[in-house]
């Protein structure tokens, strides 16, 4: 695999790993549920290096990797860009995942949130998908599946909490025109775009 893809992978995961220290509120704790979600972010680059050092055969034919590698690079760059856009969208830091003290004080529906409800999670999923495309092996596939399940569970929990908050009606309307991790293609989203 091209070294530039590996560099992008490492930059992307370094940025994701740094987020709790450089962006999120300092009022949270790194509890067990937080670690269970965050651990694959730190382990995945190590698994890629292990797969590379041990020269484990990829799940796909080598000829396919010449196509999947550049796609992975685009996904890593997209993940980094989406994280930057999401950071720029927020006026104040938000709570870490899995916190009990993360009651909403407002809803963000602009910037990175204009089309998707969980842009940080989308960026993380882009990164993990990129890893599988660049280094297809069960060592990289397992973290992708695990993170997809964890982030979906976390997103559902957050959506339920926001829907039950004082911003519930506004948030439920927002949910009708946005997708959880990818932009919504529903008619209400198209109507919203037409009136904008």
State both tokens at 74: 């685009």
Residue 196, pLDDT above cutoff 50: no
Q: Which tokens is 18 given?
A: 């740094």
Residues in the chain: 196
Is the confidence at residue 190, as pLDDT, over 50? Answer: no
Q: Which segment, 30-44, 88-102, 143-157, is predicted with the most confidence on average?
A: 143-157
HEC profile for 30-87?
CCHHHHHHHHHHHHHHHHHHHHHHCCCCCCCCHHHHHHHHHHHHHHHHHHHHHHHHHH
Q: What is the pLDDT of residues 43-68, one digit of tens each?
A: 999 988 888 888 878 777 777 888 99
pLDDT of res. 59: 78
pLDDT higher than threshold 80 for residue 143: yes
Q: Render pLDDT for 114-125 as a digit per residue (tens, 0 to 9).
A: 999 999 999 999
CB 18: neighbour CB atoms within 10 A? 11
**How confident is the model over 59-99, as pLDDT tens digits?**
777 778 889 999 999 999 999 999 999 999 988 777 666 56
Give the mean pLDDT of the chain. 86
pTM of the model: 0.87
Q: Considering its fold, how many domains does the chain have in total?
A: 1
pLDDT 10s digits, 155-174: 999 899 889 889 889 999 99
Q: Which residues sit opposite 179 in a β-bridge?
A: 116
Domain residues for the domain of 58 are 3-195
CATH of the domain at 38: 1.20.120.1630
Predicted local confidence at residue 63, as pLDDT:
78
């Amino acid at each position: 695999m091209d070294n530039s893809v590996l560099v992008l992978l490492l930059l992307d995961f370094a940025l994701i790993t740094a987020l709790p220290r450089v962006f999120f509120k300092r009022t949270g704790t790194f509890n067990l549920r937080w670690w269970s979600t965050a651990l694959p972010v730190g382990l995945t680059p190590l698994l890629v290096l292990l797969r590379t050092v041990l020269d484990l055969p990829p799940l796909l034919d080598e000829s396919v990797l010449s196509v999947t590698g550049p796609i992975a690079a685009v996904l890593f760059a997209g993940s980094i860009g989406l994280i930057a856009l999401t950071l720029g969208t927020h006026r104040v830091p938000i709570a870490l995942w899995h916190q009990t003290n993360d009651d909403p004080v407002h809803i963000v529906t602009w910037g990175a949130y204009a089309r998707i409800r969980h842009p940080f999670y989308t960026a993380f999923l882009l990164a993990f998908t990129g890893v599988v495309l660049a280094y297809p092996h069960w060592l990289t596939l397992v973290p992708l599946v695990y993170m997809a399940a964890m982030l979906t569970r976390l997103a559902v929990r957050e959506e339920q909490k926001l829907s039950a908050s004082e911003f519930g009606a506004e948030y439920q309307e927002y949910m009708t025109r946005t997708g959880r991790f990818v932009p919504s293609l529903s008619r209400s989203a198209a109507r919203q775009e037409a009136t904008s």
